Homo-oligomer: A and B are copies of this chain.
Amino acid sequence: MPEAPTGYKEVKAEIVRRVRDRTWPPGALLPSEIDLSGELGCARATVNRAMRELADEGLLERRRRAGTRVRTAPQRQARLDIPITRDEVEATGAAYRYALVERSVGPAPDWLSARIGLPSSGKVLHLIAMHFADQSPYQHEERWINLAAVPDAAQADFSRTGPNEWLVRDMPFNDIRLDLRAGAATPTVAAFLEIAIESPVFVAERVTRLDGVAITLARLSFPPGYRMRLQT
């Protein structure tokens, strides 16, 4: 037997191997941590970590007393890393450019209050901006910021730094909700993205909250060709 350096990674690999070759088919009960550590010649804690990570990854299912089983319906979750637009552009090797198009302060429109849960008559900062990659339009951004939650935003200078970069600097813990859809380019957005009207645009609407209070709603529109990537 491969009694090589028996680390938790080797244990994970061995378990995956046996799941894959049907030694342990979906639904099967695996040996207990004690038994498996005995067989593989390592400490129980090592097997524990391997099994725990595989359970986190969705391959296994663990219950006290009942033991560890191969999931029949693997927990299917993918994660999206939400990047700063600047980083996202620069990661492709392109030069990033940002431009503020419009800025205004006023009472929140009714649809916005309803959408993200603001008190009526709440003041919001409304921004429209563009992001470019090597002079090509990369993203059209329309954003509303709840000034009751982020009063400093009223004084912030968004002509050089995008609102997302500014907001991210100070708020590590928010609830984020993302709505993704395919839409047809409106005349305005089409002009900014330099595409034909009615072209398919990828639209991401992101609501950010802190302790339940809405901070901002961002509507990001991307021209055809943009891909959003998620992984496990």
Spell out A's residues near B (CB within 8 Å). Answer: 13, 16-17, 19-20, 26, 54, 57-59, 70-84, 87, 168-184, 198-203, 210-211, 222, 224-232
Contacts and interface: CB of A to CB of B under 8 A. Distances in A.
B26 A74 contact: no
Q: Say how many copies of this protein the assembly contains.
A: 2
A168 B74 contact: yes
Contact of A227 (B84, B169, B179, B202): B179
Contact of A202 (B57, B80, B177, B181): B181
A76 B81 contact: yes
Given A59-B172, A179-B229, A182-B201, 17 more contacts: A26-B171, A58-B81, A58-B174, A70-B172, A74-B172, A78-B79, A80-B80, A177-B230, A180-B227, A180-B229, A182-B182, A182-B183, A182-B224, A183-B200, A199-B200, A200-B200, A200-B201
A19 B172 contact: yes
Contacts of A174: 16, 54, 57-59, 74, 76, 232
B26 A170 contact: yes
Contacts of A80: 77-80, 230
Given A72-B169, A169-B72, A231-B177, A224 B20 contact: no
Most buried by B among A16, A26, A168, A181: A181
B175 A228 contact: no
Contacts of A87: 73
B229 A20 contact: no
Contacts of A26: 169-172
A78 B172 contact: no
